[in-house]
Structure 1
Amino acid sequence: MTHPRSALPVIAVAAVLALAGCTAEPAYAPRHVSGDTPAGDAVELAADGLDGALEELPAIVERVLEESGVPGAAVAVVKDDELLFADGFGVKVIGGDDPIDKETVFQIASMSKPIGATVVATQVDAGVVDWDTPAAPLVPGFALSDPWVTDHVTIGDLYAHRSGLPMAAGDDLEDVGYDRDEVLQRLRFEPLDPFRTTYNYANFGMTTGAQAVANAAGVDWETLSEQELYEPLGMDSTSSRYEDFVARDDRATLHALVGGKFQPLYERDPDAQSPAGGVSSNVVDIAKWMSLIIGQGSSAGTDLIDSEALTPAISAEVVSGHPPFPGRPGMYGYGFNVGSQPSGRVTLSHSGAFTLGAATNFQIVPELGLGVVALTNAGPVGAAEAIVAEFLDRVQFGESTRDWYPAYNGALAHYYAPAGDLAGETAPADPAASGPLESFVGTWSNEYFGDAVVELDGDTLVVKLGPDGGYEFDLEPWDGDTFAFVPTGENAPDGSLSSATFALGGGAGDRMTLQFFDANGLGTWTR
């Protein structure tokens, strides 16, 4: 989930995790240090750190759920190969009585990225691809707006969000109904920022990298993930297909924050961007995966991935967030945030979120051989991050270093800011009259979004976008030939309102600009 209008990407990125501190330290020092001996600049662990944190963890979760209003969560803690804790809290559907347990499957949103990066690492280990393999030759028809960048962009570039694609590139195409192949083909129209020096969080950039790997392996991404990661690790409740998620009886329901309350209003099919946001899983399976990362590619005595293939993914590859004052920048590897704990210990992490109703977070502290994950069934308000952060504070310091829920909640509040240039605006008291409504009717062309059909239904103009005209909205008079419409979907929080402006006649011909879709200058249709 990303908001094209926002400078802060999905919760999954280091800008949010800067609340815990980020650094450019190497991702992998020694695997972990036994006892309480600090390594490097890390502070000494609290005397009863881990045992005390495990004892307090249920109370931490219950308190955060009560404070946030999130209906349910599942949490797991792993140390090396040992599952120390796994349990569910709250309910699958608000107002219901079906409890969440440790086996309940959640949509994990952008936590799919590091899991997908692990799948890529299996293929690097197998010699199918390398992180530095150019992507375009493996994805027929794929191109970016700069031919030189097209020739040189690698799988690693796409997994590090440093291809130059703008933030959220392609998300708007998914919103209006295009599938993965169509989205990837249309990325050629996106303007590019400087290659390899700019970090822009782009779900479909990463999806392009994954598609290149799958094509090289000769199998679809979803099957590749099963064969190379889920099945070998015994992740029996994990899938990269939405249909598998909805087929499970023990699954959590999405809850969106609307009118200040969490409500089970929407479903979210993320198959188009499955490598970046389409995994569903439970905390027991995620714990197995965290053990694999802690073990540098080995788990339960089985060597699944050579550490040399995995290490680039969990190493800092690009600056993901520059602090507004001298401080530690955010860093991103290939699908992983790479930062540090307040104790100085390196951390690997990622969050995930759908504003339509899911939020997740994990953090791994390799030096301690420790990983913790929290999955929730409500939109991003900071609950998952707060649970994880407070637990790790308790492990390392014996107490929390701050009140984490309000801190994360404030950082994520912008995700609920209504989108569109007319949001919060009052319609003119004495608007100019528009031209005859019939004059706006017709088929309008756009090389990026495809055709938009404008129809007249009684006295109302209706716009239909997408491959089958399935993304539909009404135009309401605003002022002259400017109309208002309510956008919908993952990137349009409650209260969003945008303009549709028509310019008829003149030397440029007839034009229609939908401001909500114009974040990258691609939102004008011609007739």
Structure 2
Amino acid sequence: MVKHVGQRPLSWLHITAAVLVSSVLAVPALSQTVPLTLGAIPPEDMVPLAKGGLEKALADLPAAVESVLKRSGVPGAAVVVVQGGKTVFARGFGVRELGKDAPVDTSTVFQIASMSKPIAATIAAIEVTAGKVSWDDPIEKHLPGFAVGDAYVTAHGTVGDYYSHRSGLPHAAGDTLEDIGFDRKTILERLRMLPLVAFRTSFNYSNFGFTTGAEAVAAAAGKTWHELAQQALYGPLGMTATSSRYADFLTRDNRATLHTLQDGHFVAGFTRDPDQQSPAGGVTSNVVDLAEWLKLLLADGERDGKTLISPAAMLPALRPQAFSSPARTIASRSGFYGFGFNVAVNANGRPDMSHSGAFVTGAATNVHILPSADLGIIVLTNAGPVGAPEAITGHFLDLLQFGEVTRDWYALMHPLLMQNYDPVGDLVGQTAPISPRPARPLAEYVGTYDSAYFGPATISQGESGLVLTLGPGAIKMPMTHWDGDTFSIAPRSENAPYGSLSSVQFKGQGKPETVRIDYLDDAGLAIWTR
């Protein structure tokens, strides 16, 4: 796997399933009848919660949050706990932006990144309940023009296949197209050019694969995604500060600023517009609103005496649909993914649903739901992934279940999450040749080169040398001569963290005929022809 965010073996999206679960205890025999409810597991298969554990965990929570913020350098966080249908804890901590006094409170709106996925699954379940769509509907039924690189998968891939990342699309499919400015429609159209892996027996986390499933749900409802999200979920639950459209986030006066990690310190100033992958990563909200979403899930889809989601429609999202991390030995645990949720059974024999979200450009979030305790916790932060939200939820759930903290959760999570900052490109860590071979006259490289997948790449000559321009976003990167026909660029984007360094290699007799950009070439498609 390549090393950009969302593309690591232990990326933030899987950690809650792979690490916060201690072991799997006995489950009901197949002959037993299990009710279709979120907490359906016989009490004898669960270790009792610690006596007074909830009270202890709630009392300890402010100090636990403050400690993690101090250790991590994360500027601000908001936390909410729902139990028994009520909000039993909601509080903001720290500041919205470093160097400014405005505090984070319970109304502060955050970008929640991939925590958007379980919300998108909830919206789909509402539409399944309404009879507009089924988890088993082929994507073609609702998106007749959509295709991937295999005719069988195109015809048979279902809404559920794309919501569970088992479609066979490669990891992070389409993310680099988003980085250089392509819109959702174009990105989904170009997924057909990517090589596939095994259908339904593989797991490759893909924001745009997930978005494909959500687009099918929206098409079945006859609405755009942000319209459907508002009408199906946010409106009925009174989530007035929540949106699936970035422009709405920018209108909030009380909003959190992103902070990205650079040279070991968080800095403000970056922005992240995730509209093109909105179902997968584009929700903005506060903890007051998100508490209402938790209450809906924990109430088996009922709100004010009305059924918004039937348990039969929601349950498939909350049980294993794919191996997110198959066990490598007989002594290892496997990780599982449902439809938009990490799903597991924890050390107490209790079903556990979770998801993390992160932007390297400056956000990290985590949700954990423990249905058998009728409880959910959400942590939102305004800094890139360093393990802070996961450490807070792990600490809290330890006290709730065991009455004591079993480990230093931040020390455990921090190094795992730091992998998200590994720079990309083949020149990272390399030293430029002391006596490089000369380049051709720079004018010979100038021109427009084309790629069916990435679109045109323009090489122009500026005052300081060559400049590479990519995509509809006209992303410009100065080029530095490295050796012969090889130049270097230092990309910086959501999928190219600080410190990335990539080669740009020209080939051809006479004037160069092709150019290859290494950091974009995961699928072998980053070769442009003049």
Task: Answer whether TM exceeds 0.5 for this pair.
Answer: yes
Pairwise TM-score range, normalised by the shorter structure: over 0.9
Closer, same or farther: CA 192–9 of 1 in aligned 2, 3 Å: farther
Find the aligned partners of 2:423 and 2:477 in 1 and give their Cα distance.
17
Contact 2:169–2:196 under 8 Å retained in 1: yes
Per-residue deviation at 1:340?
Answer: 2.6
Per-residue deviation at 1:458?
Answer: 3.1
Find the aligned partners of 1:156 and 1:107 in 2 and give their Cα distance.
25
Does 2:497 align with 1:502?
Answer: no
SS in 2 for 1:233: coil
Which of 375, 384, 390 is equivalent to 1:379? 384
Per-residue deviation at 1:42?
Answer: 2.5
Per-residue deviation at 1:300?
Answer: 4.4
Amino acid at match of 1:414: Q
Find the aligned partners of 2:35 and 2:363 in 1 and give their Cα distance.
30
Does 2:515 align with 1:512?
Answer: yes
Which of 423, 431, 434 is equivalent to 2:436? 431
Matches within 5 A, 1:129-140: 129-140=133-144
Which of 444, 452, 458 is equivalent to 1:447? 452
Amino acid at match of 1:433: P
Matches within 5 A, 1:152-191: 152-191=156-195
Residue matched to 1:254? 258
Deviations 1:85-129 (A, max 9, x none): 101000000121111011111000000000001101111111111
Bigger shift: 273-282 or 128-137? 128-137
Contact 1:3–1:10 under 8 Å retained in 2: no
Deviations 1:339-369 (A, max 9, x none): 1333221100000000000000010001110
Amino acid at match of 1:327: S
Closer, same or farther: CA 334–14 of 1 in aligned 2, 3 Å: farther
Residue matched to 1:524? 527
Residue matched to 2:203? 199
Residue matched to 1:400? 405
Per-residue deviation at 1:424?
Answer: 1.5
Closer, same or farther: CA 129–31 of 1 in aligned 2, 3 Å: closer
Deviations 1:303-328 (A, max 9, x none): 21111111111111010002333222
Find the aligned partners of 2:208 and 2:436 in 1 and give their Cα distance.
41
Amino acid at match of 1:423: V
SS in 2 for 1:421: coil
Per-residue deviation at 1:23?
Answer: 5.5
Residue matched to 2:349? 344
Amino acid at match of 2:106: K
Which of 71, 74, 77 is equivalent to 1:67? 71
Closer, same or farther: CA 14–321 of 1 in aligned 2, 3 Å: farther
Residue matched to 1:319? 323
Amino acid at match of 2:133: V
Per-residue deviation at 1:13?
Answer: 2.3
Does 2:130 align with 1:126?
Answer: yes
Amino acid at match of 1:420: G
Per-residue deviation at 1:41?
Answer: 3.3
Residue matched to 1:99? 103
Deviations 1:380-410 (A, max 9, x none): 0010011111101101111111100011101
SS in 2 for 1:348: strand
Closer, same or farther: CA 462–389 of 1 in aligned 2, 3 Å: same
Per-residue deviation at 1:136?
Answer: 2.5
RMSD: 2.2
Per-residue deviation at 1:471?
Answer: 1.0
Percent of pairs with identical residues: 51
Closer, same or farther: CA 9–143 of 1 in aligned 2, 3 Å: farther
Per-residue deviation at 1:509?
Answer: 8.0
Residue matched to 2:396? 391
Which 5+ residue runs of structure 2 have no aligned equivalent? Answer: 29-33
Find the aligned partners of 2:10 and 2:128 in 1 and give their Cα distance.
28
Residue matched to 1:12? 13
- For normalisation by structure 1, the TM-score amounts to 0.95
Find the aligned partners of 1:211 and 1:244 in 2 and give their Cα distance.
20
Contact 2:320–2:336 under 8 Å retained in 1: yes
Residue matched to 2:31? none
Closer, same or farther: CA 59–173 of 1 in aligned 2, 3 Å: same
Find the aligned partners of 2:35 and 2:357 in 1 and give their Cα distance.
23
Does 2:368 align with 1:363?
Answer: yes
Contact 1:22–1:338 under 8 Å retained in 2: no
Which of 452, 458, 461 is equivalent to 2:463? 458
Find the aligned partners of 1:350 and 1:132 in 2 and give their Cα distance.
23
Per-residue deviation at 1:457?
Answer: 1.3
Which 5+ residue runs of structure 1 have no aligned equivalent? Answer: none
Per-residue deviation at 1:302?
Answer: 3.0
Matches within 5 A, 1:207-246: 207-246=211-250
Closer, same or farther: CA 476–5 of 1 in aligned 2, 3 Å: farther
Closer, same or farther: CA 481–2 of 1 in aligned 2, 3 Å: closer
Residue matched to 1:307? 311
Contact 2:17–2:344 under 8 Å retained in 1: no
Contact 1:89–1:100 under 8 Å retained in 2: yes
